[in-house]
Amino acid sequence: MRVDFHKMHGTLNDFVVFHDLGGKFRLTSEHVIRICDRRGGVGADGVIVIRPSEHADFFMDYINADGSYAEMCGNGIRCLAKYVYDNALSDKTALPVETRAGVKILQVFPGADGKAERIRVDMGRPVFEPEKIPSTLKSVQVPVIDCPVESEGRLFQATLVSMGNPHCVIFVDEDPDPLPSRYGPAIENHALFPARTNVEFIRVESPGVLTMRVWERGCGETLSCGTGACAAAVAARLKGFSGALARVRLLGGELGIEWNGNNNHVFMTGTATSVYVGSITL
């Protein structure tokens, strides 16, 4: 099976992206692991296959680097929007895309060259009920703020949020750079999270300005996580560290997040970049 693909990234969270609107490709987890291998394959944090949808213009079939399926990927869906717009699969600047976390509406902002430059994504409402995140916590106040989570002998205080996928957001006073690799694996697989979880370590630089490092479920440490940035901004507002607008600084760049609180939707704005086009035989 030969696959023609685009290598893309959203704030250096990188993906192998291709479309299969005719239903020709049936990817296995072994295929995805081979594609994402940074020595023996193309190398990526995940694979995005753009498929037809009965509920939107396209369906984002997103698979993590370890071959596991993910409900949603905020950086990945911006790359999908750029792919379909730049390759004339759609000329819409308001683009509905189905994900495993529901239909998301994307706003495409073309640049001077006529190609998609920035994308604003309606990420939907954050979910706080423990059983929907999912978490095994019972009879707790919702939202879950400052929940004790232990990892490698250290006790953290976490805020739990779902953005279509689970997030454990931890605010720290120290440099967050070394924390994901040390504490992320144990928290990802903590008994509190029956479907595992993404883990964000956040330092508040000033009101509404957040430095974030992330350990992604199924990927390990990545340079950026769009849903994680949204979860971090939501948690920051819940804890009084941010207002409606937040700038989330990641190793791969910066994302703008807007959440007006209460039952409102979260909006994420960022870039998407096409790196190169290639093909691989699986």
The catalytic position among 79, 147, 168, 225 is 225
Strand 245-250 to strand 147-151: parallel, antiparallel, or no bridges (unpaired)? Answer: unpaired
Show the tokens assigned to 43: 């190398």
CA 85 – CA 100 distance, rounded (Å): 21
The catalytic position among 36, 73, 147, 219 is 73
CB 163 within 8 A of CB 74: yes
Instruction: Tell me, yes or no, if 168 is annotated catalytic.
Output: no
What is the Cα gyration radius of the chain?
18
CB 144 within 8 A of CB 130: yes
CB burial class (10 A; 0-12, 13-18, 19+) of residue 165?
Answer: buried
Catalogue the E-assigned strands of 31-115. Answer: 46-51, 58-64, 94-99, 102-110
Instruction: Tell me, yes or no, if 73 is annotated catalytic.
Output: yes
CA 236 – CA 203 distance, rounded (Å): 10
CA 178 – CA 14 distance, rounded (Å): 21
89: number of Cβ within 10 Å: 16
CB 116 within 8 A of CB 126: no
The residues annotated as belonging to the active site are 73, 225
